[in-house]
Amino acid sequence: MFETIRNHRRWLQFILLILIVPSFVLVGVQGYDSFVNRDPELATVAGQAITRPEFDSAHRNQLEQFRQRMGSQFDAALIDTPEMRRQLLQQLIDQRLLAQVAIDNRFSVSDATLRNTIAAIPEVQDDGRFSPERYRQVLAAQGMSPTSFENGLRRDLAVARVLEPVGTTARVPAEVVSSIEQALTQQRTLQLRVFTAEDFRSKVTVTPQDIQTWYDANKESLRVPEQVQAQYLVLDEAAATQGVQVSDDDIQKYYEQNKNRFGTPEQRRAAHILIQVPSGANDETRKAAEARAQAIATEAAANPAGFAELAKKESQDAGSAATGGDLGWVSGNAVPAELLKAIQGLSKDQVSGVVRSQYGYHILKLTDLKPGQSKPLAEVRDQITTEIRRQVAANRFAEMATQMNTLVYDQRDSLQPTADALGLKIRSAAGITRTGLLPADQAGPGAAATSNDAQLLDSPRVRQVLFSPEVLRDKQNSGVITLSPDTMLAVRVAEATPSQIPPLEKVSDTIRARLLDERAAAAAKAAGEEALKAAQAVPQTVPEGFGSPMTVSRQAPLNLPAPVLEAVMRQPAGALPAYAGAAVGPDFVVVRVEKVEPGATQEQNRAGLAGQLNNAWGAAEDEALLKVLRENYKVQVLPAAEEAIKGQATAEG
């Protein structure tokens, strides 16, 4: 009924607060040196300042996130706007406000809640279950320790509790839900008559004087921005693989060296019995655990068939004991290295001796084995050829990139020497502006907008380089522009054309087509409005030209254009048949509403609608609470904030 994201709005807000909003630390009384050299304050929350350095740091982090997400399409000029910076400051204020409320009200999070939250993170799970090993690996990759992560998460969860009870308990009255449900499902039967502008195009005329008059009155709207015609070289995988030949010997050698990749690898399934050793245990405890493990290993080896029952009885691994110690099909990351090595040394149904790991002592059994199978060379020949070509291309690409970085500077006024040395072809494209690519009719022959390289040339980085002083004014080669790890460009401006208003003869056809479109649309609208008035005068009679009846609702509009659907739904249900009209682009649609009936509803849909409305109501209550908290905690946005929002540098004191 509504978009999925609206169904989960409350959860999305909660996740964003925990995982995206950066953690921050509240500081105490400033020292004397900070008092003397105080940073500009942008806002205060309960007397505590949000300073310009804090804002600048958050601002840099935000831009870096956009840069990583958008890659070569990142353009700071389009993203880093005053409105974005204003929103960022408001977010920092809300963060500080909620943290202060959490501290003042002693909000806390239990150990159980913290454990459950961490265990629910997909990145630290193996086969849907929390994995301590993976948890440590993920944190290590982020340069974090479990203690620091858990402290930060505990703090963020406590802050989230400020708003969570408000939004999650919001309820829209049943009468409101019922009323909205009726509006969504109500069905209306209608007929349409469409007056298309195309039908009137041959009936309108445009004279040369009309074109001249429009041109004189609208010259500025025709202005073409400053543009350049660029020459450029592209170094990519295609350029690096050009001319690469792969021999039969190369294919055979590659196949033999990588045989295990071409087919199904060996798979091993294992079970284990774990005798745990507590962290920090003394030697006596360790020896006792080892002795117990040895006794179990002896018993298991004597009766391998009873391993599962023994695991259920003796294993201290709560996650696998109930399933007879089953570890599933074992992969390299699923178990510690010591266990993997021991499992790989077992035959099917064989029981190992005692194996020690960081968790304690294990007894292992190989419960199933699937031998690996290799595909024949003929079946993977094309794949191998492609992989070899890519490997050769990667090496050549690195060499060519190094050469390219040097060559473009050796003769700055031409790309030809670089092209000759690397075996590349100089390409050319016109109609590149500071903000994008001109349409082909404005750019002329060789328009960048219709080029196969349009996406590369429309990169903000490429456009920025083309309009830099040394490239635009001095017609020098640019340096190498790296758009992605496997795509590099070098550009130069062959010709620059200043901003100008094109002469009438170049835009006459465009103006003529525009005036024809406008006048045809006006004629269609006039004819439609005339037909509408005639139909409204005798509503009981169905005029000619209307299509077959169709039944629509807000929930099922049947591709009815939004302006027409709105006109249909605005008609009072008590005065039928009724007529209405709506413009849809250049066309005009007359609609006859014949019948209004209540729609069928389902309990599942009603429950979903109630949930969506409750989420919307909860979001509104969150906003209202934040407004009250801002008043209670005396939030103030200070004059210096405007400089940060406008992007002005701070004045040095």
Coarse DSSP helix, strand, coil percentages of the chain, rounded to the nearest 5 percent: 55, 20, 30
Q: What angle do CA 590, 563, 568 make, to 5 degrees?
A: 60
Residues 6+ positions from 572 with CB-CB distance below 8 Å: 578
Distance CA 167, CA 341 (A): 51
Distance CA 574, CA 3 (A): 32
In 3D, which of 340, 354, 343, 342 has the Cα closest to residue 300?
354
Low-confidence residues of the chain: pLDDT under 50? 1-37, 651-653
Q: What angle do CA 639, 643, 648 make, to 5 degrees?
A: 165
In 3D, which of 286, 289, 288 has the Cα closest to residue 275?
289
Q: Cis omega (within 30 of 0) on the bond before 577?
A: yes
**Residue 229: other Cβ atoms inside 10 A:** 19
Distance CA 124, CA 262 (A): 30
What is the distance, to the nearest Å, from the Cα of residue 368 to the centroid of all Cα atoms in its chain? Answer: 42
Q: Letter for the amino acid at 611?
A: G
- Which tens digit of pLDDT belongs to each residue from 421-436? 999 999 999 999 999 9
Distance CA 108, CA 111 (A): 10
* This prediction's pTM: 0.56
Distance CA 345, CA 335 (A): 15
Please give the pLDDT value at position 650: 54
Question: If you write DSSP's letter for every residue of 243-291 in order, what string do you get?
Answer: T----HHHHHHHHHHTGGGSEEPPEEEEEEEEEE--TT--HHHHHHHHH
By the 10 Å C-beta count (0-12 exposed, 13-18 middle, 19+ buried), 379 is classed as exposed
- Which tens digit of pLDDT belongs to each residue from 287-319? 999 999 999 999 999 999 999 999 999 999 877
By the 10 Å C-beta count (0-12 exposed, 13-18 middle, 19+ buried), 398 is classed as exposed
**End-to-end Cα separation, the chain, in angstroms:** 58
Please give the pLDDT value at position 32: 34
Q: Letter for the amino acid at 289?
A: A
Please give the pLDDT value at position 319: 79
Distance CA 175, CA 510 (A): 56
622's tokens: 């969150």
